[in-house]
Chains A and B, each alone.
Chain A
Amino acid sequence: MKRPRISLSAVVWLLLAAAYFIIPLFATLLISLRSTQTGKCCVGANYAWVLHNGDFWHTLRLSALLALETIVISLVLFVPTIYLVHLKLPRLRPVLAFMALIPFIVPPIVMVVGLLRTFKGSPDWFYQKPWGFLAASYVILAFPYMFFSLDAGFRSIDVHTLTEASQSLGAKWPTTLFRVILPNIRAAALAASFLTLAIVMGEFTIANLAAFHTFPIFIQFVSESQGFPAGALTLMSFGITWAAMLSLLLVGRKRGQSSRIMAGAK
């Protein structure tokens, strides 16, 4: 039998979609290559401006470290919990799945209002520092993605057999967790971490309302004041999201499991 040819309506829809998705990126590229003095194309000066900007490196470092902190706290908090739920407390699983839906009805803009009210007057080392207040909030933002990814990871392995085998060979709990369970859910944990990285690197709402100067706040500041360099920054930020998502897909593909990819910072 002959393979069916691509249909005309499919071509039209795909071309329209491609145009809609590519034009804004292309326009940003053109803008980013314009010279601030002459307004003409094509110079690399805007990229040099960004790379020589102290605030760029400062805020980029802050956001990257925040992402790292969020990932570490999330993994330490969620991996043992989800492991225990799969091993001993299966009745708790629907509770966790429901909790993973809560961020849908309590989005960042609502959450930050509550967080600011709850922690007003808490010690400065927490309330005034990104490492305290922001990281603590971002762990909650990361929870749904962490949960769905880790949950799928744990479901794809036989938690009971692995644990029993490990213990019957004389392993203690930490050994079982770190040397048997963790290596088996590594792909799921990595995928969740890359998604968390993308979310934290782009998170604007909580940082803005709580007045912390993270990377997205810097992009906003530049796009208000310097049009052409902002184009360069926008493309760099898009590149960071690409890198995080591609890494996610690569680790997911290796294990042959689909990771849940959903929207982050709007």
Chain B
Amino acid sequence: MSGRRRLSLAWLGTLPFFAYAIAFLFVPAGSVLLGAFQDKNDNATLDNIRLLFHHPYIDAYQTSIEISLVTALLGGVCGLFIAYAALRDGTPAWVRSILTTFSGVAANFGGIPLAFAFIASLGPLGIVTVFLKDHLHFDLYGHNFAIYSKLGVEITYMYFQLPLMILVIAPAIDGLRKEWREAASNLGAKQWQFWRYVGLPVLMPSILGAMILLFGNAFAAYATAYSLSSGSVNLVPILIGAYYSGNVLDNPHLAQAMAFGMFVVLAAMMLLYIPLQRRAARWAK
């Protein structure tokens, strides 16, 4: 009897938390879902969703997905190599602690200040741009480069993608046991054979899982792109933001539909992520 009462009391204790989550997470998320399928008079409609497949909205999704894919793949591969370079035998231990500490900072150093740091380096009057022009006679902006272009945004995003990859993949690299490599070389395997048949297959779920995190990280980024381009690069978050700050669109349900579209893309990514995470957990220390 008393045990039963205790249990229901425990449930009662979690009530404030769930009430909060419903009020500030589930209801708002639900209202985006609902709003995406309503017209101005709150009647059900598919028009907003249909509009997403037309210019300029479909282009925004394309650009957003492309930037996220490129930075996730490149950030994933380079981040893996950098993390491995820092963690492998022979590299002094201080390199590792500096790299992980710095990655913790850089992964959290996004948005406006990050954009400024890249404008200061690669902007039209940036230090690197001017240096290349004055000393190496190479005119970046004469070669179709601009910091507010797609390439510029990608270069900037790598500043938080690489550290995130390093932080996420380091435990998996630590999980590669020394005995496996020794066993492989005792059996006569060459370096590449170890990686092809042991190392990469073990790491693969972690690598793919981390790349999905990176994709979501870039896909949802708003502040950095906004500040780099003063809101001119055609990305989904920028379009959504433009509605609220400048009233560019007259239909709020369109912004909700765009947000809903982001939700769909990210939810699909999450569905891929969960099974990968489960497989990766087998080897991680």
Contact = CB atoms under 8 A, between A and B. Distances in A.
**Does chain A bind chain B?**
yes
A129 to B, nearest CB: 15
Interface string A106-121: 1111111111111100
A207 to B, nearest CB: 10
A114 B32 CA distance: 5
B28 A118 contact: yes
Given A5-B90, A89-B11, A110-B32, A261 B110 contact: no
A170 interface: no
A78 to B, nearest CB: 7
Contact of B104 (A84, A85, A143, A249): A249
Contacts of B158: 20
Interface stretch (A45-53, A55-63, A132-140): A132-140
Interface in A186-234: 195, 198-199, 202-205, 208-211, 216, 219-220, 223-224, 230-231, 233-234
B95 to A, nearest CB: 6
A85 B116 contact: no
Interface in B83-122: 84-86, 88-92, 95, 99, 101-121
Given A202-B109, A204-B112, A219-B112, A137 B90 contact: no
A173 to B, nearest CB: 10
A115 B220 CA distance: 17
A111 B29 contact: yes
Contacts of B113: 202, 216, 219, 233-234, 237-238
A13 B162 CA distance: 12
Contacts of B111: 202-204, 216, 265-266
Contacts of A7: 88, 90-91
A105 B266 contact: yes
Nearest to A13: B85
A24 interface: yes
Report the interface size class on chain B. Answer: 35 or more
A231 B219 CA distance: 27
A106 B269 CA distance: 12
Interface string A4-35: 11110111011011001101111110110000
A254 interface: no
A84 B10 contact: yes
Interface string A228-255: 0011011001100110111011000000
A25 B121 CA distance: 9
Contact of B21 (A9, A25, A99): A99
Contact of A108 (B10, B85, B220): B220
Interface string B217-239: 11111111011001000000100
B256 A117 contact: yes
Contact of B266 (A3, A104, A116, A224): A104
Interface in A132-159: 136-137, 139-140, 143
A237 B115 CA distance: 12
Interface of B: 6-7, 10-11, 13-14, 16-17, 20-21, 24-25, 27-32, 35, 78, 81-82, 84-86, 88-92, 95, 99, 101-121, 126-128, 158-160, 162, 164, 167, 213, 216-224, 226-227, 230, 237, 240-241, 244-245, 252, 255-256, 259, 262-263, 266-267, 269-270
20 contacts: A6-B91, A13-B85, A14-B99, A17-B85, A21-B162, A27-B127, A81-B17, A104-B213, A105-B267, A110-B29, A114-B30, A202-B112, A219-B116, A231-B116, A238-B105, A262-B164, A264-B107, A264-B108, A266-B220, A266-B223
Which A-B residue pairs are the 6 nearest by beta carbons? Answer: A114-B28, A107-B220, A266-B221, A204-B223, A10-B85, A27-B121
